[in-house]
Amino acid sequence: MKQSLSLMNLSLPDDFSHQPPKNYSYEVTQLRRNVLAIWLRDHRSYSYTNDDVRTIWGFYDTKKREYFAPVNAKKPGQSVDISDTRDYTAMQLNLNPLEYVLYS
């Protein structure tokens, strides 16, 4: 059963180095016994909902102490190095050499 950060006192891993962008915060939920889901919550107002909007940032395996990029909100993908991730997502950029120079 998924629980929110406030209900289970789940927190971001100690080596999680990102700070949430302006008007955002991170939320941690339990996906499985040893896997945490890290969510990026957007606190701005939207016309279609009164609830906070959130997107999956990525996943963290507490036993292996590894981060994983998301395939979707319920499925971890490939293992990633935390230093190769961004504040908004753990998904890796697929850049050609020129794009890499321009955008990183």
Instruction: Report the domain count for the chain.
Output: 1
For 49, the domain range is 5-103
Q: Is 10 exposed, middle or buried (0-12, 13-18, 19+ CB in 10 A)?
A: middle
Residue 39: predicted pLDDT: 96
- What is the structure's pLDDT at 8? 53
- pLDDT at site 69: 95
**pLDDT-flagged residues of the chain (< 50):** 1-7
Other C-beta atoms lying within 10 Å of the C-beta of residue 2: 11
Q: What pLDDT shows up at residue 80? A: 94
pLDDT at position 6, please? Answer: 42
The pTM of this model reads 0.80
Instruction: Report the b/e string of 33-48 with b at 16+ CB within 10 A.
Output: eebbbbbbbeeeeeee
Q: In this predicted structure, what is the pLDDT of residue 67?
A: 97
Residues 104 and 99: their CA atoms lie apart, in Å, by 8
